[in-house]
Structure 1
């Protein structure tokens, strides 16, 4: 039996990580990478249990492996995603009302208006880049509407987020270009908050500008970290989810027919299970644990392979098949679990459903230029940066 080797920096994983994930689940459910000083969990039961155990699997050092971010100061860049209770609870509570499922559902008419505004010019051309012209524009406008980001700044903010996330193949940390882009984005955050302090409005920027924790106002660095988390996560994951859905439905025409025949929710949920945008999250063990006969020490850095867990055949029959009619995707852990369950999940699901509904109602069929597709390279986000598409309208 060939020994299994895994590193999130393997460029081949960007093409197709799932055969290796299957090997990990079968042969090494607790895998040790000495070079990176990480332990890797790949089975659904183990990943799910860890996500629901914040006392044992701490988020205080942050959820990603990048050396520039990971560590006790991770919250300075990643806000409440790099906190444990009670700080996590208090900080998340500042923004959770905005992402309440009922409030998000009430946004549907406005979201549909935004979607149509971007779709109309793309569909008139009949050939366009699904990522640049649709998937990248709508999520940025939606999260911007929630926050109160000025329209004139949205395109540049989107550009800076893309520059901040992109890694050259093989990169193991943020590059100077990444840091420069994120610094420029932080400059926008400071200006937006200062404007709301001078001129309050009914948006989340105003809420944060006036917010306190334990009667102490939030500092600018705290607000910048919080905005950075909301804007980048709200934009990046929705963008990649849409691209993956569009691609896999094209690759599986019978599933596309199911989607176009009223199965939009199935389309979203099966894509999240089958090819989740977020491949892993990182946790830090607070105490020694033994799993599958392997002892992990206190302080161990544990990589939870969410994307592998969602392909676990013990939970999802015929897990390697993209099947919109499978019906049991509710056990997928695409948005995490426990207290760190993704706060933006209702919004991501709603905007994805609306975009795909609008497309299905107007597009009879479409083709993707496989040779011209481009995947984005990061260590934990999977998706496309370009999907050239030709459509036939109804």
Structure 2
């Protein structure tokens, strides 16, 4: 933990970052050449590194962040060779940026490594640590591990909490991810109030990208609730805003959603636009989704040859995402998931219980069932119930009950 003076200083630094981001977001085309000039100015290495991060922030939105990969890596290597907390904190910022770049491109294992390194280097309550935790939550969501992703997101908000009042950009980012988690685990209605927070925070930050992203999520909630017409209206609104701000990842996502909401040639047109944008920003995950949509549409039209081609492309791209190796990577990051279950209860039984049921095992089984029951009761008492956590506890109860039954059935 850090002292109150350090937290106050970080809050002030967060406000400075917010003002800087506002300028970059509102005038990216004007600011980028100046940042590029500062990157190459000699005599001020710290200023050059800050300009590099600013230039990456702009190019990332345009789907061109990979252009700066080598320079980001060189700066990180230089910082890792230095000693002191300041160098470590700055190195964490570069690790976090590299994690975002790898994630957008679909290099999930590399993103996992970069974000874990950021957490190893950064102070627990720093902005870069918060961003790294949000990134790790993304990876959990990509694997379908919504329970762990939600807990990692909880930790991001908990550790960075004292600074959030001064950082609307981060409030918007956390709210967007929280809404995505709620929509998947609890339902579309549960996400709507959080999306309102995301919109308000994005407006305060001057962040049109996140305004568009919140509207896109609202469109997905409307779609999930069966409201095709409002979903189409919101998706088009998100697309228009994303186009004006140059946020090509969201342009592709909105086009994909519009393809899912329309039919025939119109749907094909949107899916084709998604694929074009996904290829331009080198997002393999989005390319795979676009190929999958095109495969379904071609099959519906009776065009089995093109459908087979798109299906094969989808499978090829998904195989490159490294998802099969990610579970082990995420398990290695369990130290960042501070949720822990009940401690096992020691049972003092004789080494040789003799004939009859294993009463020691039965007693342990009953205690385990009671502990899981208490966890389920706590979960049901929450304001937002995560369906995946509830199902996991129900599965655990069933398995434990079966083991208990087998133990008691022994002669």
- Which structure has more relative contact order (CA 8 Å, sep 6+)? It is 1
Q: Based on CA coordinates, which of the two structures has the bigger radius of gyration? A: 2
Larger strand percent: 1
Q: TM-score, normalised by structure 1?
A: 0.28
